[in-house]
């Protein structure tokens, strides 16, 4: 899918979190574009409770964000290692990047096999093989014996940061209200950012209005801004309780309860659709998913999506089109650009409700 604009204007990149843009501001001080079919309206994120209805279920990702960027050296050259995904065999998928002199990084060629990266504390990282055939960016790598990656990240890591952001931020800035620690130290290389604007107070208000939450876990890998690639396989868990709740709302027996299943972020879509059979029934699952949601595949479970704004030609746009249709996405992005919405993980958000799932009544706000 190609949008009318080929590049997001630099001034529309959110450079700092919402709560740092002025006194008294909070995470939920972002704008919310709502697409109901091809109708687009403008709101604040704090209006979300009146845009949903009792019985709706929000599928939320509980994966914590890791301090996944670590300094190292290859020979005499400085590099930054982005730890992406922990494999079942103890290896990690990593991306090596060059520091750019401004506190962020730029892409560098990957490999070759056998490359050794020296990390802090005498730890060595050896590149073994590309993550997938033909890929030069992400490599499976093994840490020298005694070098536990979770401990290394806690001691030496910092959140992955890209050049559109203004400065380094503490890891807490990259944790969502839904994040839960993993017993094995696993987590997301980059924040599941669609959930970032939620606050404890907003969650409480949603619950008081009858909106329910179905937690899932999907540990996201790196998604460098310079590269628009299909998502790689990622680890996920859909618990039994969440599967049961989603099936109840969807009306596996006896018809719908009146609620809708709305995914908070593309990670939530990928997880819950990976756990759904061809019959649309969600079953508890844990493991790896290589599912790529496209318009041709469609969605079996998700009735709506709350997500950030994605760059033109990013692979995530195909998922958005699968949920809401090409016309709705095109109209919504035209509105976002005209309305000067902010992009990226600290930016504004977009609620997509396909025409067949739209309520007769909704908030009337038209915030600009």
SS3 137: coil
Give every residue of the chain whose pLDDT is below 70, as ranges: 1-6, 146-147, 224-229, 252-257, 312-314, 356-368
DSSP-based helix, strand, coil % in the chain, nearest 5? 25, 25, 50
Supply the pLDDT for residue 4: 46
Backbone torsions φ then ψ of 5, nearest 5 degrees? -95, 135
Rounded CA separation 39/232 (Å): 33
Rounded CA separation 78/156 (Å): 15
Supply the pLDDT for residue 122: 87
Supply the pLDDT for residue 253: 44
Burial of 178 from C-beta contacts in 10 A (0-12 / 13-18 / 19+): buried
Backbone torsions φ then ψ of 153, nearest 5 degrees? -65, -40
Rounded CA separation 198/177 (Å): 6
Supply the pLDDT for residue 254: 44
Q: H or E segment at 35?
A: strand 31-36
111 and 86 Cβ atoms separated by less than 8 Å: no
Angle between helices 266-274 and 316-324 (to 10 degrees): 70
pLDDT of 87-108, one tens digit each? Answer: 999 899 999 999 988 888 888 8
Rounded CA separation 13/33 (Å): 16
Supply the pLDDT for residue 316: 79
Supply the pLDDT for residue 349: 97
Which residue in this structure is represented by tokens 């990670």?
A: 267
């Amino acid at each position: 899918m190609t949008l009318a604009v080929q590049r997001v204007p630099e001034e529309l990149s959110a450079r700092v979190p919402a709560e740092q843009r002025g006194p008294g501001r909070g995470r939920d001080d972002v704008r919310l574009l709502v697409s109901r079919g091809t109708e687009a309206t403008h709101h604040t994120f704090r209006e979300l409770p009146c845009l949903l209805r009792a019985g709706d279920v929000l599928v939320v990702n509980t994966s914590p964000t890791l301090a996944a960027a670590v300094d190292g050296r290859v020979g005499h050259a400085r590099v930054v290692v982005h730890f992406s995904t922990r494999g079942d065999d103890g290896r990690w998928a990593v991306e090596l990047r060059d520091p750019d002199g401004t506190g962020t990084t730029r892409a560098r060629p990957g490999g070759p096999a056998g490359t050794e990266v020296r990390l802090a504390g005498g730890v060595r990282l050896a590149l073994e093989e590309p993550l997938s055939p033909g890929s030069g960016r992400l490599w499976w790598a093994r840490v020298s014996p005694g070098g536990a990656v979770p401990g290394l990240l806690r001691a030496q890591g910092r959140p992955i940061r890209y050049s559109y952001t203004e400065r380094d931020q503490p890891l807490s800035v990259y944790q969502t209200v839904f994040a839960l620690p993993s017993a094995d130290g696993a987590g997301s290389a980059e924040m599941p950012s669609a959930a970032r604007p939620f606050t404890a107070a907003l969650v409480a208000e949603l619950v008081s209005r009858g909106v329910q939450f179905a937690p899932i876990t999907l540990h996201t890998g790196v998604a460098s801004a310079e590269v628009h690639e299909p998502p790689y396989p990622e680890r996920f868990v859909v618990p039994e309780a969440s599967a049961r709740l989603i099936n109840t709302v969807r009306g596996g027996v006896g018809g719908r309860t009146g609620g809708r299943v709305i995914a908070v972020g593309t990670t939530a879509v990928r997880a819950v659709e990976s756990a759904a059979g061809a019959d649309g029934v969600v079953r508890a699952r844990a493991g790896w998913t290589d599912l790529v949601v496209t318009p041709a595949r469609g969605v079996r479970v998700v009735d709506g999506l709350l997500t950030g704004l994605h760059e033109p030609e990013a692979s995530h746009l195909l998922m958005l089109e699968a949920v809401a249709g090409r016309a709705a996405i095109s109209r919504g992005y035209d509105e976002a650009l005209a309305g000067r919405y902010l992009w990226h993980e600290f930016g504004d958000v977009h609620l997509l409700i396909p025409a067949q799932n739209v309520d007769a009544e909704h908030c009337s706000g038209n915030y600009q």
